[in-house]
Structure formats: structure tokens, C-alpha cells
Amino acid sequence: MRVDEGNVEVKVPEQDGDSVGDEVFFNPVQELNRDVTVAALRAYREREPRAETYLDATAASGIRGVRAAAEGWDVTCADIDEDAVDLCRENLARNDLDGSVIHRDANPLLHEDYFDVVDIDPFGTPIPFVDAACQGTRNLLCITATDTAPLCGAHFHSGVRSYSAIPRNTEYHAEMGVRILISALVRTAARYDVAATPILTHATKHYVRTYLELDRGATAANDAIDWLGHIYHCEHCLHRETEQGLLADPPAECPNCGYGIQTAGPVWLGPTCDDEFVLAVRDAVSEEMGTADRAVDLLATLEDELPVPTHYDQHRLCKRWERSAPAMDDFLAALRDAGYEASRTHYGGTTFKTTASVAEIREATGD
């Protein structure tokens, strides 16, 4: 089957629902992820003009590498599957593009060689690739994680094992996943005296995607570690607070309702995007992208999203408080009128972030 995406045409195995069995993997649903990747590569070249080489480390059909090569990147596609490697070669040739294609395990490759930008888009968790990627990446590490249930605490033990952290299954589950993932990536990078700073991150219920800018040096790595900490969450009234530092010191009970507190962490408590970069990525989205409108909407929402570590769902709060949910804009305006910052989030149409506590939200938006 032929697929047109962005400026390229690639051959991929015939699709049968979500599963392709033994065939080389291709997921049409990830087109938004790939369009944003191409826009991020364009924006990153402006930010770091020295960057030239791009490794599509888990390439499958090579669609990411082919699209990067069409943007002028010096591309290497790698995969452990021989059929995938053949397909990558065919897809580069089909588009008359140069690039090297290698039948290699990404881990030894990243221990032996350096690339300016490395893209890890594996099945499930990216963790098995991160040690090597921290060694073999000079500038930008692009990472997808599709194991959202472990990341958000729905598969608790699997999340603990993969991410060496405690995830909690809260109503801001996708953001819990984002912050557990980035925490593990930052801690892994720090082991090699590398600071990993997220400059663009987005999440859906299917995956988390984050772009980390790497900076070498012990001081920078210490500064990154300083953004790690814990979320103290009350399941009863949805109060939550956060504390930076690797040692958790949760309150004995919820300061809002007196029930017990759940602790999640270490999580990343810092910003998950760099607003300037997000704006540049939005400007780099172009018409030929199949998901251009969605990508622009997503990036505009990310740009406006407050950098506070958790979000709320307006409908859930209103249901809990036995109120009807007002229009989202009116709801946010009420919070702002009461002196708090408030924004929508990309996690869902009824989600928002605010500097108000749950008790303050209830009061500010009450009748």
C-alpha cells in the first residue's frame, strides 16, 4: 500500500485495523506525531544551525527518516528487522533521497556513534534505548512512549519497574504519564552528566511524545535534577500540591478535607515545553501536512498552557460539586476575575490548568 505523507510517498504493509502481525510496522494514526516531528526538525535547525544528522533509530518503514531526508537532514535509518531495513531502502529510493540504512540494534549503534538528532519511536516503553541515546545524541532526543497504562499508574507495577518511580492513577492521567516519563529520562541522562530539558511535549491517551534538548556538564545535570519532585494528591476532594526534591515529605492528611494523601514521584515538575520553540514549531507546520490544522491547534494550545504540573477536568469537578458545567471560557474567566491564572490544556476539551487550589476553584466558580 502506498501512503502520501508530507512531501513523500512511502510503501507500507497493507493495514488491517491497528495490527499488522509479522509485517513491518506502520500506524497511520501517528501521522500527527510525524507531522509535528517534521515541523520540530525545521524549527530545531533554526535554533541549532549546526545540527545536520538525524537517526531514525527504530525506523520500521523509515517514514520518519524519509521525511527528515526530504527536509535536507543527513539521515540514518536503523532497525533490527531485516524486512524493515529493505523497506527503508526502498522508500528512500522511491523518493530519490540519499540516506544510510543499517540493519542494527539501536543500542550498540548509539554507543559507537553520535548523531545530532535521535528519534526513538519504539513499541511500548522507550526506556531500553535511553542509556545509549544519552551517549549517542549530541543535541535533540525525540522520544515516543506508547505504554500509557504503566506511565499513568493504571498498570502500577509495570510503571514502577519501567520508570523507577511511583505513578498514580489520577484524573490527570496523561499528564501523570508525561511527568513520570520525563523524570525517568532526566534521571537517566544525569547519570552521564547530561542535562535533558523538554522543549516540546504532547500527550494523548495513546502515547506521549517529548523532545529533549541535551546539554553536557555536571552543573547543568544538577540543575535538571532540581526540577524533580513529588505530587501529593487527595483522591477524595482532588486537592493536590507539589514539592521539589528527591525526598518525599507528604502532609499527614489532605489539608483541604482531612483524608489520606497519595504520593507520586519522582516526577518532572518543570515546564514540559519551551514557549519560544513551540511557537517556532507552529510556524513551521505547512499545508502539505495531512494533520496541519490539528497540529496548529495542538501547538497553539501548548503555547498557552500554564506550566503548572497538574490539570483538572471541569466536567468532573462540576459533577462532583453537583453543578451544571458552564461554558469553558466563562469558567476560566471566573477564575481570572478572582485573581488566579487559568488556561485550557491540550489534554482534552474540558481540561484546564490554574494557579488556584481545588477549594479556591470551587469558590471562584460557584454561583
Ligand X SMILES: C[S@@+](CC[C@H](N)C(=O)[O-])C[C@H]1O[C@@H](n2cnc3c(N)ncnc32)[C@H](O)[C@@H]1O
Residues whose CB falls within 8 Å of the CB of residue 225, separated by 6 or more in sequence, listed in order = 186, 187, 190, 246
239 lies in the site for Zn ion, by CB under 5 A? yes
Q: Burial level of 30, CB count in 10 A (0-12/13-18/19+)?
A: buried
Rounded to the nearest whole angstrom, what is the least distance from the CB of residue 224 to ligand X in the complex? 26
Q: Which residue's C-alpha cell is 526534591?
A: 245
CA distance 356 to 367: 17
Quick one: CA dihedral 318, 322, 326, 331, positive or negative?
A: negative
Question: Which residues are bridge partners to 144 per DSSP?
Answer: 209
160 lies in the site for Zn ion, by CB under 5 A? no
Rounded to the nearest whole angstrom, what is the least distance from the CB of residue 230 to Zn ion in the complex? 16
Q: DSSP secondary-structure letter at 217?
A: S
105 lies in the site for ligand X, by CB under 6 A? yes
Is the Cβ of residue 204 or residue 242 nearer to ligand X in the bound state?
204
End-to-end CA distance of the chain: 57
Which option in Zn ion, ligand X, none does residue 254 bind, with CB closer than 5 to 8 A by kind?
A: Zn ion
Rounded to the nearest whole angstrom, what is the least distance from the CB of residue 200 to ligand X in the complex? 17
Identify which range of 152-160, 162-170, 226-234, 345-353 contacts Zn ion by CB under 5 A. Answer: 226-234
Site track 54-93 with ligand X (rule: CB under 6 A), x = hit: ---xxxxx-xx-------------xxxx--x---------
Is the Cβ of residue 79 or residue 147 nearer to ligand X in the bound state?
79
Give the C-alpha distances (Å, rounded to integers) separating 16 from 20, 31, 67, 83.
Answer: 6, 17, 24, 18
Identify which range of 120-128, 236-244, 256-264, 336-344 contacts ligand X by CB under 6 A. Answer: 120-128
Q: Are 312 and 351 in contact (CB under 8 A)?
A: yes
256 lies in the site for Zn ion, by CB under 5 A? yes
Is the Cβ of residue 112 or residue 253 nearer to Zn ion in the bound state?
253
123 lies in the site for ligand X, by CB under 6 A? yes
Give the C-alpha distances (Å, rounded to integers) separating 39 from 8, 83, 100, 198, 285.
Answer: 15, 28, 22, 16, 5
Name the residues that contact ligand X, by CB under 6 A.
Answer: 25-27, 30, 34, 57-61, 63-64, 78-81, 84, 105-107, 121-123
Name the residues that contact Zn ion, by CB under 5 A.
Answer: 234, 236-237, 239, 254, 256-257, 259
